[in-house]
């Protein structure tokens, strides 16, 4: 019996014969491949070494066997850079559907199975379901978890996730979520006090003085030193000017 000819007489659409391009970057730990899907993706990959060199240097300082959580991973630039080291375990959180697709597909292209775990969750201060309004542009950071929207997203707190899977406890956390950093920290009270967490990097909007001050106070009270502020000169003359990465560290506990 022959199969029905569902496509008989129909013309192929142009995109069906086109492959999504992959761009390769050579790092100190080997080659990284990224799917290129739209001009914002191209921008992020093109500025891989210049947009946040402090983030790459921070990851370079991780010790073998460390666990890294990338919260707001976007398309996974830094999560995959860490996974490229081979001796780290990485958990990348990204609730935007298109960004998560790029993150997971690029991870598969790089054969990061076992080293990079991707999670389509948003992290806040509690476990719930919120509505998500994602930006339609691939690789955009302009996504917000709100009380209204078109996509439902599961949220957790950091403490809740660690209670579910304690062997995933992070030694390093990167938080780049554009606005809900205080909520994420509020949901990590137990984690922040645990000496196994030795560093955090948080993107801070310098214009939000009260928010910045409360986060610094919370983390110093949890045992971290005063933050080191980093801002790439690449962005001194554009809309990224008020944004800086704050790196909080404390001494690593002595192993037995």
What is the reported pLDDT for 186? Answer: 95
Tell me which DSSP letter residue 150 carries.
Answer: S
- The pTM score is 0.87
What is the topology classification, in CATH, of domain 20-249?
Rossmann fold (3.40.50)
Q: pLDDT tens for residues 190-212?
A: 999 999 999 999 999 888 899 99
> What pLDDT score does 137 carry?
52
- The secondary structure element, H or E, covering residue 212 is helix 209-221
Question: Which tens digits make up the pLDDT trace of 76-122?
Answer: 999 999 999 999 999 999 988 889 999 999 999 999 988 999 999 88
Q: Please choose, from the candidates 69, 57, 63, 51, the residue with its C-alpha nearest in 3D space to the C-alpha of residue 200.
A: 69
Contacts of 248 (CB under 8 A, 6+ apart): 199, 200, 201, 202, 219, 224, 225, 227
- What is the structure's pLDDT at 205? 87
Q: What's the distance, Cα to Cα, between the start and end of the chain in Å?
A: 70
Residue 236 has pLDDT above 90, yes or no: no
Strand ranges in the chain using DSSP code E only, listed in sequence order = 22-27, 30-35, 67-71, 89-93, 116-119, 122-123, 128-133, 144-146, 151-156, 172-175, 199-205, 228-230, 243-249
pLDDT at 4: 58
User: How deeply is 101 buried, as exposed, middle or buried, from its count of CB atoms within 10 A (0-12, 13-18, 19+)?
Assistant: middle
Average pLDDT in the chain? 86
Q: What percentage of the chain exceeds 70 in pLDDT? A: 83
Instruction: Show me where the domains of the chain are located.
Output: 20-249
């Amino acid at each position: 019996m022959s199969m029905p000819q569902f496509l008989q007489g129909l013309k192929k659409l142009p995109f069906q014969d086109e492959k999504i391009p992959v761009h390769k970057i050579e790092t100190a730990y080997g080659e990284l491949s990224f799917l290129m899907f739209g001009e914002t993706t191209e921008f992020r990959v093109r500025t891989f070494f210049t947009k946040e060199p402090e983030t790459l240097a921070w990851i370079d300082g991780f010790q073998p066997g460390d666990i890294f959580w990338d919260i707001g991973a976007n398309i996974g630039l830094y999560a995959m850079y860490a996974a490229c080291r081979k001796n780290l375990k990485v958990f990348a959180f990204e609730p935007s559907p298109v960004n998560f697709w790029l993150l997971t597909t690029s991870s598969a292209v790089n054969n990061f199975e076992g080293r990079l775990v991707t999670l389509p969750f948003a992290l806040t201060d509690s476990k719930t379901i919120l509505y998500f309004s994602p930006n339609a542009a691939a690789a955009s950071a302009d996504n917000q978890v709100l009380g209204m929207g078109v996509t439902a997203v599961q949220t957790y707190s950091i403490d809740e996730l660690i209670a579910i899977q304690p062997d995933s406890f992070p030694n390093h956390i990167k938080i780049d979520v554009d606005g809900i950093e205080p909520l994420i920290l509020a949901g990590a009270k137990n984690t922040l006090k645990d000496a196994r967490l030795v560093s955090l990097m948080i993107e801070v909007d310098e214009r939000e003085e009260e928010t910045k001050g409360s986060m610094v106070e919370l983390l110093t009270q949890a045992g971290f030193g005063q933050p080191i502020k980093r801002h790439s000169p690449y962005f001194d003359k554009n809309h990224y000017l008020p944004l800086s990465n704050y790196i909080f560290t404390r001494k690593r506990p002595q192993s037995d």
